[in-house]
Amino acid sequence: MRILVADDHDLVRETIASFLTGSDGITAVDTAATLDDALKIVAGEYVFDLVLLDYDMPGMKGLTGLKRMKDAVGTVPVAILSGTASPSIAQAAIEAGAMGFVPKTLGSKSMVSAVKFMAMGEVYAPFEFMQQAQEKTVGNLTERETAVLQGVCEGKSNKEIARDLDLQEVTIKLHVKTLSRKLEARNRTHAAMIAKERNLV
């Protein structure tokens, strides 16, 4: 199994390469510091089993770099590596054809397992990390906040919304405060207006 790790941070690149080098089943690890360097390497004599691309390195331009690499390597799995990308970006990368998303914070054993998993053609994304994205709905509100916003739009009081959702009134008050902040609304009436304008409920 031959892996290409492309990352513009020397320490990160070499650390990941050292995690993978010598691991059972991984025979070679090549490295690159930019997307252009990585593209030159895959155009060479070696055939790779997986290409790991840093989301923020020179040449990537977001998911444009992912497409360029996928076009260059054909059926070889390509995954995104990042220390800063959000769950929504990770989700977008996978939807764009990435074989997975690997946070740089993964421990050495988890990193090696993820790489082997993706090299075998399986999509990888850390469950807890991705769960953050799945908890969000339209307007960056959670499902609970959206339900509370629905009540606000119907002109219900916090007490009535609390009864409908089987929650404490103080909990509803907190949700209203949070969703108003997320929507940049001055008050609950303003929040309802924004929700209707954006078709959030």
Q: What residue ranges do the domains of the chain occupy?
A: 2-134, 138-197
CATH number of 2-134: 3.40.50.2300
Residue 7 pLDDT more than 70?
A: yes
* Segment 24-68, tens digit of pLDDT: 999 999 999 999 999 999 999 999 999 999 999 999 998 899 999
- Whether 138-197 and 2-134 are alike in CATH topology: the answer is no
DSSP conformation letters of 67-124: HHHHHHHTTS-EEEEESS--HHHHHHHHHTT-SBEEETT--HHHHHHHHHHHHTT--B
Q: Are 50 and 74 in contact (CB under 8 A)?
A: no
Residue 138 pLDDT more than 60?
A: no
pLDDT band of residue 101 (cuts 50, 70, 90) is: very high
pLDDT band of residue 132 (cuts 50, 70, 90) is: low
pLDDT band of residue 136 (cuts 50, 70, 90) is: very low
CA distance 6 to 133: 26
pTM: 0.66
The single-letter code of the amino acid at 8 is D
**Please, which residues have CB within 8 angstroms of residue 106's CB and are 6 or more apart in sequence?**
114, 126
In the CATH scheme, what architecture does the domain 138-197 have?
Orthogonal Bundle (1.10)
Report the chain's mean pLDDT, rounded to a whole number: 89
pLDDT band of residue 135 (cuts 50, 70, 90) is: very low
User: Tokens 């080098």 identify what position?
Assistant: 21
How much is the pLDDT for 187?
Answer: 92
